[in-house]
Amino acid sequence: MQIVWFRKDLRILDNPALTQACHEGPVTAVYFITPEQWQQHDVAPIQIDFIEKSLNQLSKSLADIGITFIVETVPKFADVPEALDAICRRVNATAVLANSEVEVDEISRDIKVQQYGINLRLYQGDCIINPGQVLTQQGTMFKVFTPFKINWLKQAMEMDLTPYGSPDKQSDKISPINIQIAMDKKDSSAWEASEAAALDHLSVFLDESVESYHLDRDFPAKSGTSMLSPYLALGLISAKQCMNAILQRFPDAFNNAQNGPATWVNELVWREFYRHIMVLNPDLGKGHNYNELGNRIQWQNNPNLFTAWCEGKTGYPLVDAAMQQLIQTGWMHNRLRMVCASFLTKHLLIDWRWGEVFFKQHLIDGDLASNNGGWQWAASTGCDAQPYFRIFNPIIQSQKFDPNGQFISIYNQALSHLSDKQIHLPNNPVVEHKLARLTALDIFSVLKKG
């Protein structure tokens, strides 16, 4: 008997650990709900609800192929080795197969499972290329995205990117179990939690939006992006499935052109970049600055300004509408994540780690590697980050990317009557842009090289 241990790979298709276990068969599936650990990791109530719904869907898919699904609750990762060992003994399993994860606590949990004497075999189902396999000629991780991407694309072109299909049926159909997570949850039903829904999303995006992705992706009022991030974060769809689907339709998508498909590929490679960095720099998962000069930044950390930002009451219409989008829907457009993160760190001089936690506590797609990468990019402390002297002007960002105030009006109807010119202007702002910019330039100058 083999155990397949599901983690952030809540899918049947393109699941290397599951496929391999089914070849070797018979198979029992296992999942651990770890409430205290998730609280420590700031998992958002909306993501917990999405996990619960996804698990119930996975339970049905496993039952269809005759695989028993055992879901147990243990407080923390530290409790997993013993619980997993007990299941192995109960079902007489000789091996546990799982897809590897990139986060530091998850990696050390897996090491502890192996040290406990469990035969844990790990597969790559999250990244397309294994972290540690895209390196400079000196054998080190790239410090800049573009050469990483060139090297990544070169390797990916040589690979077979065909996703694994449906795993072998293990026995007749059985009854699915019902899974409930006893934690604080927020309704996630705006996102249908199933593999089929993720594939539909991908298909519609490729049919309708990807060709203009490079033109539309920065405009939050347009549906210009795939909105696949919740599915990718929990593994209802894999990056390989996405990459394969785009190459099927646009065989030139790896050619680095200035068009929609190539730009979308670029974003998926950013996802890989941050994952590779996370594995090779595990301290990032513990709040360390990638650039150690970042330790010298004198954060002001004014709690009142932080509250104003969290509640969308900074007086800058685009920032406030974006924060409302996050609070109300559990998702935020990428351009707005950059604007809000820049505003918190550079205008309000609040430590990026505060923002990282707040985002994680609210995002349905909360993901340590991408969130940390995004925050450190905005704070100029990260790998290939925004230079310290680049400070987004929240008014210009608004004029450029929400020219008619269409997005702002969705989250602040009181402003919808304003003209295209007026709607972007601050109203009783918590800080004044020009002054905040000058202060930030001074404080962030500790990042100056040499």
Ligand X SMILES: Cc1cc2nc3c(=O)[nH]c(=O)nc-3n(C[C@H](O)[C@H](O)[C@H](O)COP(=O)(O)OP(=O)(O)OC[C@H]3O[C@@H](n4cnc5c(N)ncnc54)[C@H](O)[C@@H]3O)c2cc1C
389: its two tokens: 């002297």
Is 209 an interacting residue with respect to ligand X (CB under 6 A)? no
CB of 133 to ligand X, least distance (A): 19
Instruction: Pick the stretch among 22-30, 66-74, 219-227, 298-306 that binds ligand X (CB under 6 A).
Output: 219-227
Is 309 an interacting residue with respect to ligand X (CB under 6 A)? no
Is 232 an interacting residue with respect to ligand X (CB under 6 A)? yes
CB of 233 to ligand X, least distance (A): 5
CB of 87 to ligand X, least distance (A): 31
Torsion of CA 322, 328, 329, 330, to 10 degrees: 80
* 8 A C-beta contact, residue 251 and residue 161: no
Nearer to ligand X, 59 or 276 (CB): 276
Closest CA to 62 of 165, 167, 163: 167
* H or E element, residue 318: helix 317-329
Nearer to ligand X, 29 or 233 (CB): 233
Nearer to ligand X, 9 or 93 (CB): 9
Is 192 an interacting residue with respect to ligand X (CB under 6 A)? no
Nearer to ligand X, 68 or 124 (CB): 124
Q: Which residue's beta carbon is nearest to the bound ligand X? A: 374
* 8 A C-beta contact, residue 314 and residue 344: no
Buried b (16+ CB within 10 A) or exposed e, 273-308: bbbbbbbeeeebbeebbbbeebeebeeeeeeebbeb
Q: What is the CA radius of gyration of the chain?
A: 22
Is 156 an interacting residue with respect to ligand X (CB under 6 A)? no
Within 258-297, the residues that bind ligand X by CB under 6 A are 267-268, 270-271, 274
Q: Which amino acid is at 228?
A: L
Is 217 an interacting residue with respect to ligand X (CB under 6 A)? yes
Is 334 an interacting residue with respect to ligand X (CB under 6 A)? yes
Number of amino acids touching ligand X (CB under 6 A): 28
Instruction: Pick the stretch among 14-22, 60-68, 154-162, 357-365 that binds ligand X (CB under 6 A).
Output: 357-365
Is 199 an interacting residue with respect to ligand X (CB under 6 A)? no
Is 359 an interacting residue with respect to ligand X (CB under 6 A)? yes
Instruction: Pick the stretch among 28-36, 98-106, 249-257, 373-381 that binds ligand X (CB under 6 A).
Output: 373-381
Residue 260 to residue 152: CA distance in whole angstroms = 19
Q: What is the DSSP secondary-structure string of 256-293?
A: --SSHHHHHHHHHHHHHHHHHHHHH-GGGGGT--SSGG
Tokens 């790559």, located at residue: 124
CB of 268 to ligand X, least distance (A): 5
* From 344, 378, 430, 447, residue interacting with ligand X (rule: CB under 6 A): 378
Is 126 an interacting residue with respect to ligand X (CB under 6 A)? no
Instruction: Pick the stretch among 182-190, 223-231, 246-254, 295-303 that binds ligand X (CB under 6 A).
Output: 223-231
Instruction: Pick the stretch among 293-301, 367-375, 401-409, 438-446 that binds ligand X (CB under 6 A).
Output: 367-375
Nearer to ligand X, 271 or 433 (CB): 271
- Per-residue x/- track, 393-422, ligand X (CB under 6 A): ------------------------------
* 8 A C-beta contact, residue 393 and residue 338: no
* Cβ count near 318 (within 10 Å): 32
Torsion of CA 239, 244, 249, 255, to 10 degrees: 80
Is 341 an interacting residue with respect to ligand X (CB under 6 A)? yes
Angle at 190 between CA 186 and CA 195, to 5 degrees: 105
Residue 199 to residue 169: CA distance in whole angstroms = 21
Closest CA to 92 of 27, 33, 31: 27
Is 392 an interacting residue with respect to ligand X (CB under 6 A)? no
Q: How far is CA 238 from CA 22, 43, 147, 301, in A?
A: 19, 20, 24, 38
Is 11 an interacting residue with respect to ligand X (CB under 6 A)? no
Is 38 an interacting residue with respect to ligand X (CB under 6 A)? no
Is 229 an interacting residue with respect to ligand X (CB under 6 A)? yes
Nearer to ligand X, 167 or 373 (CB): 373
Is 228 an interacting residue with respect to ligand X (CB under 6 A)? yes
Cite the active site residues.
267, 270, 299, 334, 352, 375
Q: Which residues pair with 165 in a beta bridge?
A: none
Residue 449 to residue 302: CA distance in whole angstroms = 28
For residue 425, with 0-12 CB atoms within 10 Å meaning exposed, 13-18 middle and 19 or more buried, which class applies?
middle
CA dihedral over 417, 421, 423, 426, signed as positive or negative: negative
CB of 130 to ligand X, least distance (A): 18
Residue 437 to residue 443: CA distance in whole angstroms = 10
Which residues lie near ligand X (CB under 6 A)? 217, 225-229, 232-233, 267-268, 270-271, 274, 334, 337-338, 341, 359, 363, 365-367, 370-371, 373-375, 378
